[in-house]
Structure 1
């Protein structure tokens, strides 16, 4: 399989990769992609949750993002990128944060945690396959951290999806041990480890000789 991979991907441009740690390592080796080309090379625990185990507790207030939230969301996405990819060039961060903020407003995937009529945290669903969703872009600004808000907004978003659209399970990557503990408190369990790689510039896979 690994020896056949370069021919199968010949001419394709690779910008990054994510998957189980061992699989990503084998793929990088097979394609000849070296560490000096990476701007991100991160190992993260993969956690999973059976949504039927979410406790029936009073739900906190969450709502979809609106155009009025754009300035706030742009600053939050800047913070999120700075936390997860601290070596990114400032111009790229600014452009990606603005794009992400508009996407959050114009899709139904992002929810904001509201306290005293003010947004305090956000969480989004990145993708869905069957009855499983992937959670991502969970962000709590520094001044509101260490109070359980990350787990609260994720749990509320998932409970709403479960009740409205029949989603039964969720997965996510935890960026660090503190994040993993926050998700474990609402029932997520560690099932594997992922490796996430981004290249400084897209690399075209060379044709095999």
Structure 2
């Protein structure tokens, strides 16, 4: 089947074009929907020199959207993010980016779409592919409350941006280590985007009984009725006390009570985090991840 790729450089235009797809599968489309919503609100906090963002809708022969992708990551290597789409569309997208002169060193999104995209990119440019991680998208419908933990959850303050940024920066490397991997993991937020999330009220800290911050739980506000929890991080010296479970449960309950569907991503090779989320009632829906595309030179 032939497919058409419709590119956009305006988030509002993309959201209008992709709405049938995003509304039909709001949980599976959570990353694209929530990130694009940030841009639509004017929250473009990418550093100077970052490439211009783009979005693409994949249409079938009848003009219906059957997939989507975006390239909005603020920091190198600026990986595109691909929703599930037909294999032929994934190969077409790889060829189109190759023809546009866009180098792709890492691609993130849904399996097997990212594997098909990576294979076509390598066919065109050479190189090798290696899996960076495999994660699962989880959703909760019936929250299971964890054991009571000393302390309390509170909203992060603007003067705590450096603390939160440090924990966000440590999240990726620590998660990889817990999963038994040693691989590069780019920053998930810039300082500017972290500050914006704090000011929006989307970052919360767990204080222990002495009022010391010991863990962070952030979330992305609802898009198409779906909120996404993350990142969740506890520094090593504070682990094993239930802070992460308490923070995730409190944020999840708040979002569910507000009428949102709630989801999150977890590394399937990290038994610590997946165990926490499963005990809270989160259940896996789909497999996602990342593929690193090595140079063919």
TM-score where L is the length of structure 2: 0.54
Select the residue among 133, 138, 148 that pairs with 2:232.
Answer: 138
Select the residue among 150, 153, 164 that pairs with 2:244.
Answer: 150
| TM-superposed deviation, 1:198 | 5.5
Q: Conserved in 2, the CA contact under 8 Å of 1:47 and 1:174?
A: no
Q: Conserved in 2, the CA contact under 8 Å of 1:132 and 1:171?
A: no
Does 2:117 align with 1:27?
yes
> Matched residue of 2:247: which SS?
helix
Structure 2 residues not aligned, in runs of 5+: 1-87, 177-181
CA distance in 2, matches of 1:173, 1:113: 20
1:169 is matched with: 262
Alpha carbons of structure 1 residues 56 and 194: separation in structure 2 relative to 1, 3 Å: closer
CA distance in 2, matches of 1:99, 1:197: 27
Greater RCO, 1 or 2 (C-alpha within 8 Å, sep 6+):
1
CA RMSD of aligned residues (A): 3.4
Q: Conserved in 1, the CA contact under 8 Å of 2:214 and 2:234?
A: yes
| TM-superposed deviation, 1:114 | 2.2
| TM-superposed deviation, 1:97 | 6.0
Alpha carbons of structure 1 residues 29 and 44: separation in structure 2 relative to 1, 3 Å: same
2:94 is matched with: 6
CA distance in 1, matches of 2:234, 2:223: 26
| Deviates further, 73-82 or 179-188 | 73-82
Select the residue among 279, 282, 287 that pairs with 1:185.
Answer: 279
Give the paired residue count.
194
Structure showing the higher strand proportion among its residues: 1
Q: Conserved in 1, the CA contact under 8 Å of 2:152 and 2:208?
A: yes
Q: Conserved in 2, the CA contact under 8 Å of 1:136 and 1:173?
A: no
CA distance in 1, matches of 2:163, 2:213: 9
CA distance in 1, matches of 2:293, 2:196: 23
Q: Conserved in 2, the CA contact under 8 Å of 1:65 and 1:104?
A: no
5 Å matches for 1:49-68? 49-50=140-141, 53-55=142-144, 61-68=152-159
| TM-superposed deviation, 1:46 | 2.5
Alpha carbons of structure 1 residues 198 and 159: separation in structure 2 relative to 1, 3 Å: farther
2:214 is matched with: 120
1:129 is matched with: 223
Alpha carbons of structure 1 residues 199 and 47: separation in structure 2 relative to 1, 3 Å: same
Q: Conserved in 2, the CA contact under 8 Å of 1:17 and 1:24?
A: yes
Structure 1 residues not aligned, in runs of 5+: 202-209
| TM-superposed deviation, 1:183 | 0.6
CA distance in 2, matches of 1:97, 1:200: 25
TM-score where L is the length of structure 1: 0.74
| TM-superposed deviation, 1:139 | 0.2
